[in-house]
Structure 1
């Protein structure tokens, strides 16, 4: 009798344990479904959200930042930035008035409606590429806000500079970095002559292509360089160095710094590449949050 009673109690315990386990699984599934439903409904999580496009071949890019408070968009701004100066496009640095008008109009419309589907992209003509970028970036921001993928700034806003300790072949390297919203928005690396000196430049044809000699090498001509003059294709014949400067600028802005920077795509002018990385690290020493 006691044995039978013991078996009955054990059976009841096992059944109860199974019921509790199933209930827990149902609860977990329900919670996951609720999260998915929240995303599907487009409910926004309070916080700051940012999207920054890669630097284009034209040396500019789009960036937008959005604040969400109490589940609603409280502020939004889309800008297009010049990579070298870190300045937002404006009438003083950008001569495409239609493009500026489109940016202003789209910002105004979205801040009023808070709904990309209600934005009239035909309200202002022109700047088709900007309109496409604006819509894509807004959708990316809304997706981040629905998932709660908040943005955390990496650096303190401001301008940061660093200069190489010594010149190389008469040229001294320097970098200027602009940070906004915790992001590197502008990077200008340049080298300037520390004294008057003679140099060479490559000769270009009418199509702006280097003229080559019988030996297959670019034809050069002598030039006089003044102290303080920036290195450029007008006074320097090693064009690969210029290309490396441009590529490194893009890489560092896109990567928002030099940490874990993939430089495999940048070949040639190794010393220039190394100097840029070292100076950027030096300039940003006091900028990290």
Structure 2
């Protein structure tokens, strides 16, 4: 009987020691945190808005590095940028007691911090500019999300009719992700003819500016096909106003291709 009790006691002691020496189970590792932040494609993206009644055109440039927005610049241009126009600074400061350069900088820094145009806090003192900023920032960010590749197809953008009845338009063809053709022209709401087909207008333009209008327009398109980037196309020749229209409408047409 004593032997049985001793044996049972030994078994109990062995089990207890084994339990004490066994490694403790670790709690299951937590799953890695999910990154909800959108990853953007590296590059520089610009969006421009409509010119207002005073001639100012708003624009935003967003720089993406390592998948995140690293730099943002907002400004408005009318011959020169507001941020560089010291007379405008002074007039704005005198009228509203607001430093417009500081406001523009604050808006850009807010987007870098938030990484989302909808989460940028409103900036007091320049409501109109802030509204433009949010709209254009969202457009530029959309470009970063879509990347640089264009979808195949034919894309067209038209501008506003000017005081003489001419409406500018651009047609772009994309094949295999590249711009293969681009044409620019302006159509008359009075004569219902394109400038490149209006012999009288072409002759007058040639006489006044010594510029072949058809050749100038063809060069716009050829240069875009060669460069594949409207920012690299020089439109400062003898048809500079048309060149400005061309650049703005190309950006609009290519936004459709993205």
TM range (shorter): 0.3 to 0.5
TM-score scaled by length of structure 2: 0.43
Q: Which has the higher helix share?
A: 2
Q: Which protein has the larger Cα radius of gyration, Structure 1 or Structure 2? A: 2
Structure number with the bigger relative contact order (C-alpha 8 A, sep ≥ 6) is: 1
TM-score scaled by length of structure 1: 0.39
